[in-house]
């Protein structure tokens, strides 16, 4: 059984570790969603005053990070002390993405527009944080994740300090805080850290994004610290080709030794990067990292607030023939695989009873892939697992995830059991329902009519399923404003319901109400 933190967060996978502790992918069993949980055991770092000091810093982290209200900072959901194990924990939004470090390549130059887009996004986050006021103190490529749509998320404001008189006492450790490749001269000297210290780190990050190399190298931290203190950075135009002068000047100003010689604030950095960004509606650059399949950071500027990408409509697994699947089922004896499939169904049922729908779907998903690889994607037992998972996604309201799987399942059942089989027809019906919920009215109507044709040819239009599909069709016709068609459909349905179920039946009364609403209101 998974470890649980705070009586509601089930830990799944460790996804990171650092000075403050470990970070886990977890499930919030109350709200049925994935979260990130940062946990630390105070006893692991000593006792007495050391524990109290760490507890204060950790609690401050939760309060401070929660006050940075910007989509570029993961949301904080919860924080507390798990008294059972004397462990502090912080619950945050789980971010899926690629580390910014993956975009730094010494062989392939990053397009200038990409570097500028990253810089502008980070500057925006810093402007919101500095207004709190919060200084990050450890900005580096490892602390920035890039989501699939190119949005930058700045992580780990955990060692940030509120700019108040007691901040130094909470963060003082006797050694510089930060990472030597990106530390400002004032941090290295142990002097007052301000928002300008983050701007220096941003200059280091931009320099490395453009050139592929850190602004100051060295074999040891001391070597790097000394260069940050005394060495002049080599201008980017002397290191790389085609670097605009305005970007070179901005980076050199960000890397000024004295904080007062750097740009006034993060907002100024953003404004100076704007001319280097692509214009609204422009096409992406197809050079360097832009052709490597990595998330494009210019997308948020070229197409702000664009719709999300459409889900893949293909099947989850490579298709195997029905004969291959049946043969595989015959030669595979009762094994650990079959037991794991049964166990997945049992565990999913328990989660369903607790209304933890996404976790139930995840449990089945973990069993489906290995089962499909061994038995074939269209093995009857694998198909039933996939069908159950897709149905759970519908209950959870995850129509965009369920729809392509129902499409794939409808094809699979049509091949293995026939297009008129109950499973094939049900998958088409559920696919239509998902489309209706997603607002794809015309596509939903086509599929509901297909379902009705299949049902009617086999069993007639008076079965419960046929009656429900006819109501769905009438409602969608009304949604398209085809009122005459909707009234004809629903009128015929109401007549049949009166015959089959009677006037007092709930379904009959509901269709009567639909018909009433179709009639225009008399202004008199």
Report the topology of domain 322-518: 1.25.40
Task: Name the segment(s) of the chain with CATH classification 3.30.200.20.
Answer: 4-92
Task: Give the separation between CA 291 and CA 96, rounded to whole angstroms.
Answer: 21
Q: Which residues are registered as beta bridge partners of 26?
A: 11, 35
What is 222-246 written as a DSSP string? Answer: HHHHHHHHHPPPPPHHHHSSS--HH
Which CATH class for the 4-92 domain?
alpha beta
Whether 199 and 181 have beta carbons less than 8 Å apart is answered as no
Which CATH class for the 98-164+177-280 domain?
mainly alpha
**pLDDT at position 236:** 95
Task: Name the segment(s) of the chain with CATH classification 1.25.40.10.
Answer: 322-518
Whether 271 and 139 have beta carbons less than 8 Å apart is answered as no
418 by DSSP, 3-state: which?
coil
H or E element that contains 58: helix 49-66
**pLDDT at position 284:** 76
Q: Give the catalytic positions in this structure.
A: 138
**pLDDT at position 209:** 95
Nearest to 35 by CA among 300, 311, 358: 358
Task: Give the separation between CA 23 and CA 296, rounded to whole angstroms.
Answer: 26
Mean pLDDT (the chain) is 82
Task: Give the separation between CA 394 and CA 382, rounded to whole angstroms.
Answer: 19
Residue 307, CA distances (Å) to 146, 149, 286, 300, 369 in order: 18, 10, 22, 11, 30
The 3-class secondary structure across 410-459, one letter per residue, is HHHHHHHHCCCCHHHHHHHHHHHHHHHHCCCHHHHHHHHHHHHHHHHHHH
**pLDDT at position 313:** 41
Q: Give the chain's residues under pLDDT 70.
A: 1-2, 18-20, 41-57, 60-61, 83-86, 158-178, 286-292, 308-335, 520-524
pLDDT tens digit sequence for 480-512 = 888 899 999 999 999 999 998 898 999 999 999
**pLDDT at position 291:** 44
Residue 6, CA distances (Å) to 59, 157, 350 in order: 15, 22, 21
Whether 358 and 351 have beta carbons less than 8 Å apart is answered as no
Task: Name the segment(s) of the chain with CATH classification 1.10.510.10.
Answer: 98-164+177-280
H or E element that contains 16: strand 9-18
Predicted model pTM: 0.63
**pLDDT at position 421:** 85
pLDDT tens digit sequence for 332-378 = 444 577 778 888 888 888 888 877 888 888 889 888 888 888 888 88
Separation of CA 524 from chain center: 53
């Amino acid at each position: 059984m998974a470890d649980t933190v705070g009586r509601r967060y089930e830990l799944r996978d460790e996804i990171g570790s650092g000075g403050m502790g470990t970070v886990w992918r977890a499930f919030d069993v109350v709200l049925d969603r994935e979260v990130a949980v940062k946990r630390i055991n105070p006893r692991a770092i000593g006792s007495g005053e050391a524990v109290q000091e760490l507890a204060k810093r950790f609690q401050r982290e939760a309060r401070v990070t929660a006050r940075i209200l910007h989509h570029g900072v993961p949301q904080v959901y919860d924080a507390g002390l798990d008294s059972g194990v004397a462990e502090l924990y912080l619950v945050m939004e789980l971010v899926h993405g690629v580390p910014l470090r993956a975009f730094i390549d010494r062989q392939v130059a990053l397009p200038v527009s990409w570097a500028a887009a990253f810089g502008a996004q980070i500057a925006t986050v810093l402007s919101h944080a500095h207004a709190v006021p919060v200084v990050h103190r450890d900005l580096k490529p490892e602390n920035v994740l890039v989501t699939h749509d190119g949005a930058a998320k700045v992580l780990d404001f955990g060692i940030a300090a509120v700019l108040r008189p007691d901040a130094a006492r909470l963060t003082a450790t006797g050694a510089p805080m930060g990472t030597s490749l990106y530390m400002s001269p004032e941090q290295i000297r142990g002097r007052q850290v301000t928002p300008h210290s983050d701007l220096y780190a941003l200059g280091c990050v931009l320099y490395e994004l453009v050139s592929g190399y850190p602004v100051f190298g060295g074999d040891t931290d001391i070597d790097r610290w000394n260069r940050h203190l005394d060495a002049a950075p080599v201008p980017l135009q002397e290191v790389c080709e085609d670097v605009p002068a305005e970007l070179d000047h901005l980076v050199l100003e960000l890397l000024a030794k004295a904080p007062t010689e750097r740009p006034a604030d993060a907002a100024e950095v953003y404004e100076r990067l704007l001319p280097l960004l692509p214009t609204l509606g422009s096409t992406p650059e197809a050079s360097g990292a832009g052709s490597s399949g990595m998330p494009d950071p210019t997308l948020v500027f070229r197409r702000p607030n664009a719709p999300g990408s459409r889900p893949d409509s293909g099947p989850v697994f490579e298709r195997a023939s029905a004969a291959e699947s049946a043969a595989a089922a015959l030669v595979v004896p009762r094994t650990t695989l079959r037991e794991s499939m049964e166990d997945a169904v049992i565990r999913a049922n328990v989660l369903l009873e607790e209304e933890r729908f996404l976790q139930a779907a995840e449990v089945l998903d973990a069993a489906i892939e290995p089962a499909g690889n061994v038995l074939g994607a269209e093995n009857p037992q694998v198909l039933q697992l996939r069908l159950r998972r897709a149905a759970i996604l519908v209950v959870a309201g995850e129509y965009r995830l369920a729809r392509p799987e129902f499409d794939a399942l409808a094809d699979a059942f049509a091949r293995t059991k026939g297009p008129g089989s109950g499973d094939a027809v049900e998958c088409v019906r559920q696919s239509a329902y998902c489309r209706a919920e997603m607002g794809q009215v015309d596509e939903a109507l086509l599929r509901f009519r297909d379902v009705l044709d299949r049902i009617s040819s086999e069993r007639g239009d008076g079965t419960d399923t046929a009656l429900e599909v006819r109501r769905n069709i009438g409602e969608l016709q009304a949604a398209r404003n085809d009122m005459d068609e909707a009234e004809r459909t629903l009128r015929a349905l109401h007549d049949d319901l009166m015959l089959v179920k009677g006037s007092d039946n709930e379904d009959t009364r509901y269709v009567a109400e639909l018909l009433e609403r179709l009639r225009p209101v008399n202004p008199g």
